[in-house]
Chains A and B, each alone.
Chain A
Amino acid sequence: MAAPVVDPRAAAADTPTRRGTEAALLAFAVLITVVAQMIVDLTVTGALRPEMAGFSVWITALWVVAHLVVRKWASYADPLLLPAVALLVGLGLAVIHRLDLAAGQVGSTVTREDAPVQLIWATLGVALFVAVLVVVRDHRTLSRFAYTLALLGIVLLALPAFLPASISEVNGAKIWIRVAGFSIQPGEFAKICLVVFFAAYLVDKRDVLALASKKVAGLELPRGRDLGPVLLAWVLSILVLVFERDLGSSLLLFGIFVVMLYVATERASWLFIGLTLFAGGALISYQIFGHVRARVDTWLDPFAYIDGAGYQLVQSLFGLGTGGLFGAGLGGGRPDQVPIAKSDFIAAAVGEELGLFGLVAVIVVYLILVERGLRSSLVVRDAFGKLLAAGLAFAVAWQVFVVLGGVTGLLPLTGLTTPFLAYGGSSLVANFVLVALLMRISDAARRPATPHATPQRLGDAPTEVVRP
C-alpha cells in the first residue's frame, strides 16, 4: 500500500455492530416482498393465493437465517448490504410471479411459470451465502487459491464454447450448460473466480505494473513486457465474444479487469490503455461480426428494426413510456409483451408497472449496494481485501449499468442478467456468493482492531480538541 492505513476507530473498542439496523431493514424488505406478492394477486386475479401464507413464512425464514448467520459469523459486516439484496430479490420474485400470471394472455410472450423455481434458487443462494460466511472466516485465505480459481474460472467460461450447441446455446448465445432440465450459466460463477484471481495476482504484481518506463503525451506508459496480463485478459474477452457470441460477459470481464488494474497500480495510463484496447476491439468486432453490428445498428435506431432485431427494445421502451411517472401498478400493465421479460428485460417490467419512481428506486438500491461495497474496500486494511472488495462491488455496478443501459436504449443490448432481480438460478446464486464475500470483507473492515494491532504513527493521529 502506498501509505499505512490508519484505523480511525482503533481507540473505539465498543464499535457498534449495527446488526439491529440490519434486522429492522430486513423486516422492511420482507414486508415489501410479501405486500408486493399480495398486490400482484389482488390486481390480476382479484383474490389472494392460499400459498401466500407459506410464501411469507418461507421468505421470512430465509432472511432470519441469513441474518442470524451474519450476527454470529460476520457481526461487524455492513448493515445495508443484506437488506438491499433482500429487497431486490423480493421485488424480483413479485415481478416474476406477476409475469407468470400473464401466461396465455393475448400478445403475451410468457409461456411458463418460473416464480416457484426462482424461490428455490433464492433459497439455494442463501444457503451458499451462509456456507461462504461459515467456511471463509478470513477472506485472505482465498488468495492462496488464486491460480486454482483462475483455472476454474477459465474452464467455466470456456466450457459452453466446447459443448455442442444443443447443450449450450440459447437464443444465439453459447453461454449455457443444460443438464437434466437445469440451465446453468457458468459465466456467472467464472466472474467471481476471476475477480478473486485478479485481486490476488494484481496485489502480487502491482509494484512491477506500476513502474513507468516512458512518458508519451503526458501519460506514463508501463513497460511493454508488463502489458502481458492486460493483453491476456483482453484476448480472453475477445475469445468469449467470438466463440460464445456473448457481448455482455466479454464487456463485463474486461471492464472489471481494467478497473482493478487501475485501482491496484494507481496509474491512469492503464485506464487509457484499456480504453484503447476496448475501442480497437469494439471497432474490429463491429467490422467482423454480424451479430455485433446488428446489435449496434439496432441500438442506434431500434424503431427502424421494429419487426426484427429491434422488436424487444422497442417493446421495452413502449412499456417504460406507458408506465410513465407512477407506472401501471403491479399487475396493471402488460410487461409480458416484452420478450424475455423475466430475465433480460425485467427492468422494463419494473419501469412499466412501478413507473419512473419504482425504477429509480431500484437503481438507487443498487447504488447503495455498490457504494457500500466500495466503502468496505476503502476501509479494509489488507491490500488483497481492498482489491477484492473493489472488484466485486464494481462487478455489480458495471453489470447493472450495462444491463439497464441496454434495456433502456442507453447502450447496445448485451444480454447480461440484472443481479438479484432477474429470473435465473446461476446469476442469483453466484451473486449471493459475491455478496457473502463483500460481507466478509466489510466485517473485517469494521471489526475493531485487536489491542495488539500495529500502533499508530503519532503524525497520523487525529488532532484532539483541547477542552478547557
Chain B
Amino acid sequence: MNAPLRRVAISVLVLFTLLIINVNIIQVVRSESLRQNDRNTRVLAETYDRERGSIIVDGTEVAMSVPTDGRLTYLRTYPQGPLYAPVTGYHSLIYGNTKLEDAMDDVLSGEDDRLFVRRIADLFTGRDPAGGDVVLTLDPAVQAAAMAGLEGRTGAVVALDPDTGAILGMASTPTYDPGLLASHDPEAIRTAMEAITAQDPDPRVNRAIEDNYQVGSLFKVIVAAAALEDGLTPETVVPAPRELPLPNSSRVIPNFGGSACSPSGEQSLIDALTISCNTAFAQLGIDLGEEAVRDMAEAFGLDDEGLDIPLDVARSTVGDIIDDAALAQTSIGQRDVRMTVLQAALVAATVANDGVQMTPYLVDELRAPDLSVLDETDPEVLREPISAEVADQLTEMMVSVVARGSGRAARLPGMEVAGKTGTAQVRPDVPDHNWFMGFAPADDPQIAVAVFIANGGSTGGDLSAPIAGDVMAAYFEGQGG
C-alpha cells in the first residue's frame, strides 16, 4: 500500500500548495484592488474611530462628526442635510464617500500630507488623531434662497463671486438627507438608500455640475460677444426677419411664438438681445462664420476639460457644426450646444468681471484640528475671453434684457441687474428647459447667478428669472445692504 500512500501524500502537498498560491494571489496581487473596492467598508470603518473633520459654511458646521456612546465611534451628522447635500455628499459605512466627503477625504480623515507633522505628534502625545476641517465659500443666505426657489422642481442654481470665482451657492433639486446614509445601522442605511434610489430623477446627482443641458438663448450672449469683438456695437443694426430660411434646407428658424422681432425686419444688436430675437442671432452667427462663433464659445470655456472645484465638473460643448444651417441653429443655442449650470454662471461672471474669468472654487480654506489654517485658496484667473470694453457693452445689453426685455422678473429694487433668459427645446415631446443667467449690481457686480429648471415647460423669463432675483436679493440682504 505504500506506493499509493506516497502518491496521496504528494497530492496533499499539491492541494495545500494550491491553497497557498491562491491566498498569495488574494493577499498580495489583488490586495490593493480589494482594499480600494468601494464596497469594502473596512478602511472606512477605521475612519469612524477617528474624529473626522467638519465641513463648514460661514462658521457653522454643515457636516460634522459627533462622538457617540458606541465603542470609539463617531457619528457623521449633517445638521442641514438636504440643503447642502449636493455639495457635501455623504460619508456612509456601506456606500462609501461621495462629493466633497470623497474629494476632500484626505483632509477630513487626517491622511493629508499637510497634517503629517501633527499625526506624528499624535503618536507621541497619545492624542486621538483627528481630521482637518474644510471651510467652504458658500453663503448660507444664497444657498437657502436657491434651494427654496427650486423647491418642487428639478433644477440647479449656481451663484459666483465674479471677482474671485468663489462659489456662493450651489443648489440642486431634488435633494435628500445624507444623514440617513451616515447612520451606524447598516439595515437603516440600506433602507434609506433604497428609498433614495427609487426616486426619479435621482436626488444624488448634483445637477449644477454633473450634467450639461441645452441652453437655448443664453448662447446669444456668446454670439453677441463674438460680434462685438468683430467690431460691431450694441447700436449696430442687424437683419431681424420674421423668419429665417435655413440655407440649403427647407426649414426655417422662427421667432418665439412666431412673432416678428421688429416691423422693419431689422433692429439694433441691443434690441435683438433684449427681446431675444432668434432670426437676428441666427443670421449674425452665419455672418460671423463658424470659426468666430466656436472660438468665442471655447474662449468662454466650452469644449474644455477638467474643471475641478474640487468636485468634478462635466464638459460644456458646442458640438459639431456641419453647415450654415447648423451654424444658425447653434447660434441660438439649439442643436448640440450644452452647458453645465456652473458654466452658465461663469459666462455671466466673466461679463461682470470686465471679461476676466476667475477659476471657480468651493473650498475657501483648510484648517488643522487645532483650527490653524493649513491652506487657503487664492483666486486665480482662468481665462480672458473678451476685452473690458466688450464686457461693458455686453453688460449694457444684458441690463436692457432685465430692464425692458425677457428678464424683467429678475429686477431688484434700487439696483441695475444684468441678465439673459433662455428657453431651450429639448425634444419635441418633452417640455423646454428654462434658464436665466445674470449678475448684479450692473455697475459693480458682486454676485453672478445661473438658474436652470429642467423641463419647466415655461420660459426662462417666467420661471428662472424670479428665482435668480430672489437669490441675488438674499445675498444683498445677507451683506447687510
Instruction: Tell me whether A340 is interfacial, beta carbon within 8 Å.
Output: no
Nearest CB of A to B179, in Å: 15
Q: Is the CB of B42 within 8 A of A404?
A: no
Residues of B near A314 (CB, < 8 A) are: 39
Listed residue (B1, B20, B41) with the most chain A CB atoms within 10 angstroms of its CB? B1
Instruction: Tell me whether A322 is interfacial, beta carbon within 8 Å.
Output: yes
Residues of A near B27 (CB, < 8 A) are: 320-321, 323-325, 351, 355-356, 359
Q: Is the CB of B23 within 8 A of A321?
A: no
Instruction: Tell me whether A234 is interfacial, beta carbon within 8 Å.
Output: no
Choose from A264, A359, A397, A405 the contact partner of B1 (Cβ within 8 Å): A264
Q: Give complex CA distance A359, B93 in Å.
A: 27
Residues of B near A325 (CB, < 8 A) are: 27-28, 31
Q: Is the CB of B41 within 8 A of A356?
A: no
Q: Which size class do B's interface residues fall under?
A: 35 or more
Q: Is the CB of A104 within 8 A of B4?
A: no
Q: Give complex CA distance A107, B92 in Å.
A: 11
Residue ID in chain A nearest B34 by CB atoms: A321
**With contact pairs A318-B40, A319-B42 given, residues A1 and B1 touching in the complex (Cβ less than 8 Å):** yes
Instruction: Tell me whether A334 is interfacial, beta carbon within 8 Å.
Output: yes
Q: Binary interface profile of B, 90-119, with partner A (CB < 8 Å = 1, else 0)?
A: 000110000000000000000000000000
Choose from A105, A306, A360 the contact partner of B23 (Cβ within 8 Å): A360
Instruction: Tell me whether B186 is interfacial, beta carbon within 8 Å.
Output: yes
Choose from A370, A383, A410 the contact partner of B19 (Cβ within 8 Å): A410
Residues of B near A165 (CB, < 8 A) are: none
Residue ID in chain B nearest A404 by CB atoms: B19
Q: Is the CB of B16 within 8 A of A363?
A: yes
Instruction: Tell me whether A2 is interfacial, beta carbon within 8 Å.
Output: yes
Q: Give complex CA distance A406, B358 in Å.
A: 57
Instruction: Tell me whether A27 is interfacial, beta carbon within 8 Å.
Output: no
Nearest CB of A to B134, in Å: 24
Q: Is the CB of A321 within 8 A of B31?
A: yes
Q: Binary interface profile of A, 81-107, with partner B (CB < 8 Å = 1, else 0)?
A: 000000000000000000000001111
Instruction: Tell me whether A333 is interfacial, beta carbon within 8 Å.
Output: yes
Residue ID in chain A nearest B12 by CB atoms: A397
Choose from B2, B19, B30, B186 the contact partner of A321 (Cβ within 8 Å): B30
Instruction: Tell me whether B73 is interfacial, beta carbon within 8 Å.
Output: yes
Q: Is the CB of A386 within 8 A of B43?
A: no
List B1-37 residues whose CB lies under 8 Å from chain A.
1-6, 8-9, 12-13, 15-16, 18-20, 22-24, 26-28, 30-35, 37
**With contact pairs A266-B1, A408-B19 given, residues A106 and B184 touching in the complex (Cβ less than 8 Å):** yes
Residue ID in chain B nearest A263 by CB atoms: B4
Instruction: Tell me whether B70 is interfacial, beta carbon within 8 Å.
Output: yes
Q: Binary interface profile of A, 378-414, with partner B (CB < 8 Å = 1, else 0)?
A: 1000010011001000100100110011001110000
Q: Is the CB of B8 within 8 A of A259?
A: yes
Residues of A near B251 (CB, < 8 A) are: none
Tally of A interface residues using CB under 8 Å: 53
Q: Is the CB of A107 within 8 A of B23?
A: no
Q: Binary interface profile of A, 338-374, with partner B (CB < 8 Å = 1, else 0)?
A: 0000000000000100011001100110110011001
Q: Give complex CA distance A363, B18 in Å.
A: 11
Q: Give complex CA distance A162, B73 in Å.
A: 47
Residues of B near A387 (CB, < 8 A) are: 1
Q: Is the CB of A324 within 8 A of B1?
A: no
Nearest CB of B to A10, in Å: 17
Instruction: Tell me whether B48 is interfacial, beta carbon within 8 Å.
Output: yes
Q: Is the CB of A322 within 8 A of B35?
A: yes
**With contact pairs A106-B73, A374-B9, A374-B12 given, residues A322 and B40 touching in the complex (Cβ less than 8 Å):** yes
List A237-256 residues whose CB lies under 8 Å from chain B.
none
Residue ID in chain A nearest B14 by CB atoms: A401
Nearest CB of A to B355, in Å: 52
Nearest CB of A to B146, in Å: 35
Instruction: Tell me whether B127 is interfacial, beta carbon within 8 Å.
Output: no
List A143-190 residues whose CB lies under 8 Å from chain B.
none
Choose from A263, A364, A410 the contact partner of B5 (Cβ within 8 Å): A263
Residues of A near B20 (CB, < 8 A) are: 360, 363
Q: Is the CB of A356 within 8 A of B22?
A: no
Q: Is the CB of B37 within 8 A of A318?
A: yes
Choose from B15, B23, B32, B37 the contact partner of A397 (Cβ within 8 Å): B15
Q: Give complex CA distance A319, B31 in Å.
A: 9
Nearest CB of A to B141, in Å: 36
Q: Give complex CA distance A371, B17 in Å.
A: 13
Instruction: Tell me whether A262 is interfacial, beta carbon within 8 Å.
Output: yes
Nearest CB of B to A203, in Å: 10
Residues of B near A306 (CB, < 8 A) are: 39
Q: Give complex CA distance A367, B15 in Å.
A: 10
**With contact pairs A374-B12, A410-B18 given, residues A333 and B42 touching in the complex (Cβ less than 8 Å):** yes
Q: Give complex CA distance A401, B15 in Å.
A: 7
Listed residue (A264, A322, A394, A401) with the most chain B CB atoms within 10 angstroms of its CB? A322
Choose from B13, B23, B42 the contact partner of A359 (Cβ within 8 Å): B23
Residues of A near B22 (CB, < 8 A) are: 405, 408-410
List A285-319 residues whose CB lies under 8 Å from chain B.
306, 314, 317-319
Q: Give complex CA distance A448, B323 in Å.
A: 102
Residues of B near A317 (CB, < 8 A) are: 26, 30, 34
Q: Is the CB of A106 within 8 A of B24?
A: no
Instruction: Tell me whether B288 is interfacial, beta carbon within 8 Å.
Output: no
Q: Give complex CA distance A321, B29 in Å.
A: 9
Residues of A near B15 (CB, < 8 A) are: 397, 401
Instruction: Tell me whether A431 is interfacial, beta carbon within 8 Å.
Output: no
Q: Is the CB of B23 within 8 A of A356?
A: yes
Q: Give complex CA distance A266, B1 in Å.
A: 6
**With contact pairs A318-B39, A318-B42, A366-B16 given, residues A356 and B1 touching in the complex (Cβ less than 8 Å):** no
**With contact pairs A107-B93, A320-B26 given, residues A383 and B70 touching in the complex (Cβ less than 8 Å):** no
Q: Binary interface profile of A, 22-48, with partner B (CB < 8 Å = 1, else 0)?
A: 000000000000000000000000000
Nearest CB of A to B192, in Å: 15
Q: Is the CB of B12 within 8 A of A371?
A: yes
Nearest CB of B to A41, in Å: 14
Q: Is the CB of A386 within 8 A of B28?
A: no
Instruction: Tell me whether A118 is interfacial, beta carbon within 8 Å.
Output: no
Listed residue (B5, B31, B35, B48) with the most chain A CB atoms within 10 angstroms of its CB? B5
Residues of A near B66 (CB, < 8 A) are: none
Q: Is the CB of A320 within 8 A of B5?
A: no
Instruction: Tell me whether A377 is interfacial, beta carbon within 8 Å.
Output: yes
Residue ID in chain B nearest A314 by CB atoms: B39
Nearest CB of A to B198, in Å: 16
Instruction: Tell me whether B45 is interfacial, beta carbon within 8 Å.
Output: yes
List B411-457 residues whose CB lies under 8 Å from chain A.
none
Nearest CB of A to B72, in Å: 9
**With contact pairs A106-B70, A401-B19 given, residues A386 and B26 touching in the complex (Cβ less than 8 Å):** no
Residues of B near A427 (CB, < 8 A) are: none
Residues of A near B5 (CB, < 8 A) are: 263, 374, 377-378, 386, 390
Q: Give complex CA distance A155, B28 in Å.
A: 45
Residues of A near B40 (CB, < 8 A) are: 318, 321-322
Q: Is the CB of A322 within 8 A of B34?
A: yes
Residue ID in chain A nearest B94 by CB atoms: A107
Q: Is the CB of B42 within 8 A of A351?
A: no
Residues of B near A364 (CB, < 8 A) are: 16
Residue ID in chain B nearest A324 by CB atoms: B31
- Known contacts A106-B70, A317-B26, A322-B43; 6 further A-B pairs (Cβ under 8 A): A104-B70, A360-B24, A366-B16, A367-B13, A367-B16, A409-B26
Q: Kindly list the 9 A-B residue pairs having the minimum CB-CB distance in the complex, ordered from nearest.
A: A321-B34, A356-B27, A318-B40, A397-B12, A106-B184, A374-B9, A410-B22, A401-B15, A263-B4
List 13 A–B pairs whose Cβ atoms lie within 8 Å, in order of A's numbering.
A318-B42, A321-B31, A322-B34, A323-B27, A337-B41, A351-B26, A355-B27, A359-B23, A363-B19, A367-B12, A378-B6, A397-B16, A401-B12
Question: Which chain B residues have a beta carbon within 8 Å of chain A's beta carbons?
Answer: 1-6, 8-9, 12-13, 15-16, 18-20, 22-24, 26-28, 30-35, 37, 39-43, 45, 48, 70-71, 73, 93-94, 184, 186
